[in-house]
């Protein structure tokens, strides 16, 4: 069990990456008020600090997250935090890219936390699912909103209506999980994926994420204009000129984030 004095959420900086760890293994990293606040504050740090380009969200103790801490909820603790919503992430994630690194399982609200991230790395054999219907509850933390955009209709319905978890391998085949990792190495695999991302221009990363996420709300008539509003400042930035110069001069670019 973790020391009660330890923070519910730990952070570590690693070469431009902020590793965020839910640190309540004694309750399978269930989300209480402290976890929601800790994740929200970590995302605030990620978005605010220029030397951080990407976040990795994971769990301590060999598993990701079991969802809402029902005991804490009964005691009056809220697993929502500000406008970020459930677990400090479900309704408003980070502006910068996020990778979920899953060991063991990510179920119920825990899976919804993972779905609030932009990429998912999962250990082979990890179980992912939304079992809420088994308790006459609804997966209202984002799963029923995100999954229909990422999986075939009938697959989403099976997952939601049976409540049965699926192995990471099935989600990988459906494209929901980006990479599979050997058990115990999900964070290492996520760091390898992060290394391929953080070398790119930070303005381009944030703009690309925003366009991909927001385009579902744009009509065909407005999508090019809306994309231009986001991409235009990046295309005329100092970093864009630096990227072109570095390519021409066969050297690594030096990004300034402006």
Residue ranges making up the domain that contains 189:
9-198
How far is it, in rounded angstroms, from Cα 171 to Cα 166? Answer: 7
Catalytically active residues are 112, 132
In a domain, 40, yes or no: yes
If asked whether residues 186 and 102 sit together in one domain, one would say: yes
In a domain, 216, yes or no: yes
How far is it, in rounded angstroms, from Cα 103 to Cα 121? Answer: 9
If asked whether residues 159 and 231 sit together in one domain, one would say: no
At residue 52, does pLDDT exceed 90? yes
In a domain, 18, yes or no: yes
If asked whether residues 206 and 131 sit together in one domain, one would say: no
At residue 2, does pLDDT exceed 50? no
Single residue among 198, 214, 229 that ends a domain in this structure: 198
Phi and psi angles of residue 198, each rounded to the nearest 5 degrees, phi first: -70, -15
At residue 243, does pLDDT exceed 80? yes
How far is it, in rounded angstroms, from Cα 158 to Cα 220? Answer: 31
CATH of the domain at 223: 1.10.12
If asked whether residues 188 and 60 sit together in one domain, one would say: yes
If asked whether residues 103 and 225 sit together in one domain, one would say: no
Q: Which pLDDT tens digit goes with each residue over 206-227?
A: 999 999 999 999 999 999 999 9
Q: Averaged over 9-23, what is the pLDDT? A: 97
CB of 166 closer than 8 Å to CB of 131: no
The count of structural domains within the chain is 2
If asked whether residues 98 and 120 sit together in one domain, one would say: yes
pTM (predicted TM-score): 0.94
If asked whether residues 80 and 111 sit together in one domain, one would say: yes
Residue 102 CA to its chain's centroid (Å)? 11
If asked whether residues 140 and 226 sit together in one domain, one would say: no
Q: Averaged over 20-41, what is the pLDDT? A: 97
Single residue among 176, 198, 220 that ends a domain in this structure: 198
If asked whether residues 159 and 225 sit together in one domain, one would say: no
If asked whether residues 193 and 206 sit together in one domain, one would say: no
Q: What is the pLDDT, as a whole number, of residue 195? A: 97
At residue 1, does pLDDT exceed 90? no
At residue 199, does pLDDT exceed 90? yes
In a domain, 257, yes or no: no
In a domain, 1, yes or no: no
Single residue among 163, 182, 198 that ends a domain in this structure: 198
Mean pLDDT of the chain: 95
Residue 136 CA to its chain's centroid (Å)? 27
Q: Which pLDDT tens digit goes with each residue over 131-188?
A: 999 999 999 999 999 999 999 999 999 999 999 999 999 999 999 999 999 999 999 9
If asked whether residues 138 and 223 sit together in one domain, one would say: no
Per cent of the chain over pLDDT 90 is 94
In a domain, 38, yes or no: yes
If asked whether residues 210 and 102 sit together in one domain, one would say: no
How far is it, in rounded angstroms, from Cα 4 to Cα 71? Answer: 16
**Contacts from 192-196 at CB under 8 Å and sequence distance 24+?**
193/99, 193/119, 193/121, 194/17, 194/54, 194/56, 194/99, 195/15
In a domain, 149, yes or no: yes
Sequence-ordered alpha helix ranges (H) in the chain: 33-48, 70-74, 109-115, 143-146, 153-162, 168-174, 186-198, 202-214, 223-235, 238-249
CATH of the domain at 194: 3.90.226.10
In a domain, 206, yes or no: yes
How does residue 4 score in pLDDT terms, banded at 50, 70 and 90? low
């Amino acid at each position: 069990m973790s020391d009660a004095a330890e923070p519910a959420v730990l952070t570590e900086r690693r070469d431009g990456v902020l590793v965020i760890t839910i640190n309540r293994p004694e309750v399978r990293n269930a989300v209480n008020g402290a976890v929601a606040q800790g994740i929200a504050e970590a995302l605030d740090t990620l978005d605010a600090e220029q030397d951080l380009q990407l976040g990795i969200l994971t769990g301590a103790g060999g598993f990701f997250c079991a969802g809402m801490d029902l005991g804490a909820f009964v005691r009056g603790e809220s697993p929502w935090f500000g406008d970020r919503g459930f677990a400090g992430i479900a309704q408003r994630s980070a502006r910068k890219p996020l990778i979920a690194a899953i060991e063991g399982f990510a179920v119920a609200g825990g899976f919804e936390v993972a779905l609030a991230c932009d990429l998912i790395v999962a250990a082979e054999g990890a179980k992912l699912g939304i079992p809420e219907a088994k308790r006459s509850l609804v997966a209202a933390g984002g799963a029923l909103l995100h999954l229909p955009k990422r999986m075939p209709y009938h697959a989403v319905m099976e997952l939601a209506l049976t409540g049965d978890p699926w192995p990471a391998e099935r989600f990988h085949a459906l494209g929901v999980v980006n990479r599979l990792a050997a058990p115990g190495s999900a964070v290492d695999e996520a760091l390898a994926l992060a290394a391929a991302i953080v070398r790119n221009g930070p303005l381009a990363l944030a703009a690309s994420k925003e366009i991909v996420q927001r385009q579902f709300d744009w009509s065909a008539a407005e999508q090019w204009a809306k994309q231009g509003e986001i991409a235009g400042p990046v295309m005329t930035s100092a970093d864009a000129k630096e990227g072109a110069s570095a390519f021409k001069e066969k050297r690594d670019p030096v990004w300034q984030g402006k």
